Amino acid sequence: MDKQEAKKRIEELTHELHRHNHSYYVLDNPQISDYDFDQLLKELEKLEQQYPEFASPDSPTQRVGGQVTKKFASVKHKYPMMSLGNTYSRDELEEFDARIRKLVNEPFSYVCELKYDGIAIGLTYKNGRLVQALTRGDGVTGDDVTHNVRTIRSIPLVLPSEDIPAEFEARGEIIMPHKSFIELNKIKEQNNEALFANPRNAASGSLKLQDSALVSKRNLDCFMYGLLGESLPFQSHYENLQQAKAWGFKVSSLTRLCENINQVMEYIEEIAQERLNLPYDIDGIVVKVNQYSVQEELGFTSKAPRWAISYKFKAEQGITILEDVTYQVGRTGAVTPVAKLSPVLVAGTTVKRASLYNADKMEELDLHYGDTVFVEKGGEIIPKIVMVDIAQRPSDAKKIEYATHCPRCQTPLERKEGEALYFCPNSDHCPPQIQGKIEHFISRRAMNIEGLGEGRIEVLINNKLIEKASDLYGLTYDQLLGLTKTIEEEETGKKKKISFQQKTVNNILTAIENSKSVPFERVLFALGIRHLGETGAKKIARELKSIDNIVNSTFEELTEIPEIGERIAGSIKDFFNNHENLEVLQSLKDAGLNFEIEVPDETMAGDRPLEGKTIVVSGVFEKYSRNELKELIEKKGGQNTSSLSSKTSYLLAGENMGPEKRKKAEKLNIPVISEADFESLIQQ
């Protein structure tokens, strides 16, 4: 076989194997036997070895893996992966429907989808080829798991269609079917390895394996449930899903278009009866508004879209014995009671502990030692006690009284007016609070100091090397090298050794040094001020510009900042009125951390023509993507919002904008500007 013949045969085999992959893993309709498929794959592998110059990066041979990833890169999502609000009742779904109908005037329908119990994934395609796969992560950034995802045979590596956008993102869920899960645990049991508790954990663990060849053996699957992009073929979610199916994606045949909320209810009842017969786990139904124009008009909250909601099926319950109640102390001093239970299997997981939330909940349950209790997973995740079987209570059972002192430092507990929890006020010297604050400080969304997880902060505290976050910046190589500690995992009882080897120590010290370049808003969040989250820290940092301005600001000045209420403002004032916090702050300043916003020269020159302006962006644009326009608005001093109100300054309108949005703008006398108008504004 000469080179041209080899090239032609490689192309033929590649096309044929892609087609058979799709038939087997997506359509569930195999056209040839497994043996014949393997023979074709071996022929292709042999030819690619002989003529590597003709091997395609999208070759079916890539499905077997072989790439080793030591560290998964963190990448920012082009479109944030937001969470969904949850509901458990028909009444709440009807309220969701009523809210939408109150806000929009145009007709709309719903799309109902299975809520898979797996790992969310975003797949980016350029010119029909898979170029990147990102996990959800924190919703803003995710891990790049492209090499591992390429081994999942139900995910197309290349799309044969010609009518696809130049670039788009497909959103879906990676799952492990029951059959694959059972087979995997059998192998782990034979090898005397710890078993996976459920298919979701197995899917998550498999997706983060360093060797993609191992991932390919885990038989993961993937269902797609959405498309994102600037040039999608249709203006509705359901039509685009059907188009994705035609392009080669695996889209569930159980996805349903519903004309009203009553049809949604009927669909939920239907799936509730069938879900236990499915070959994979689901924990509910996702309900979405179908029309993109209505989605745009409804917009988003800070955490979730207003046009979608998740209906969760009632959690499975287990019955067991309450043995004891212990108490956990968080970084803010909040004390949470935890029930210690006789082990019980609930929804595929062995449960030994359950949250009791607070003293009021304990009093409501009237818990006694030895009670027979009903346990379920709240939202299928966190175990909780929902009921006590009083009839089974021993006659001599002793009532469980809530703790009066901190279980770790023995300081008397306090309960502030209006608060559900008790708190340990010994914030500067209580061991779990010290550890929790430092762990928050080093976390990924704060200072992002890698290498100090997995119990290493506890080791440093126990060795009296650190007492507060600022102590991290005084650590030396000689202090860290050789530190060790053996810990026992509470759930499994397995012992694990933590050690500070040469490479680990170097990585930790490098990460600490690199953290000095973290921007001010994240440093502010890292301080761990109670009630102050990422969004609030970003708003305050951008408004007041420096830590000194924040420290010297009044309560009233803080509450004037958008979305900063009295509770957050009060926490900030309390935090900086504590002299020990001010000492830590000064030490962090001395270490060289960023405590002010870096103002670019163009801002100093007054290049903020949109200062004080609020703009809503809607539609498709010729020169910019919507994300690029939103970044420009912020850069030029303006603010983005997702929905129109009387405070909106402009509606920036592109092609295919919903007519209702324009009507609403006209009703509110909001100027509607074009892309050219916008460019004129920012060039003033």
Catalytic residue set: 115
356/328 Cα distance (integer angstroms): 11
3-state helix, strand, coil in the chain (%, to 5): 40, 20, 40
Residue 112: strand pairing partners: 256, 287
DSSP 403-467: PSB-TTT-PBPB--TT-SSEE-S-TTT-HHHHHHHHHHHHSTTTT--TT-TTTHHHHHHHTTS-S
Interatomic CA distance for residues 190 and 589, integer angstroms = 55
- List of residues 6+ apart from 315 with CB closer than 8 A: 346, 347, 376, 377, 378, 379, 380
Give the 3-state DSSP-derived string for 87-109, with helices as H, strands as E and coil as C.
ECCHHHHHHHHHHHHHHCCCCCC
One-letter amino acid for residue 215 of the chain: V
Q: Where are the beta strands (DSSP E) in 443-557?
A: 484-488, 495-499
Helix 3-21 × helix 34-50 angle, to 10° = 150
CA distance 197 to 175: 14
CB neighbour class for 649 (10 Å; exposed up to 12, middle 13-18, buried from 19): middle
CA distances from 479 to 36, 139, 476 (A): 61, 37, 5
Q: DSSP 3-state assignment of 217?
A: coil
Phi, psi of 324 (to 5 degrees): -165, 170
CA atoms of 381 and 395, how far apart (whole Å):
34
- For residue 74, give the 3-state DSSP assignment: strand
Q: Which residues pair with 113 in a beta bridge?
A: 286
What the block records as the tokens of 189 is 């049991």
CB 175 within 8 A of CB 328: no
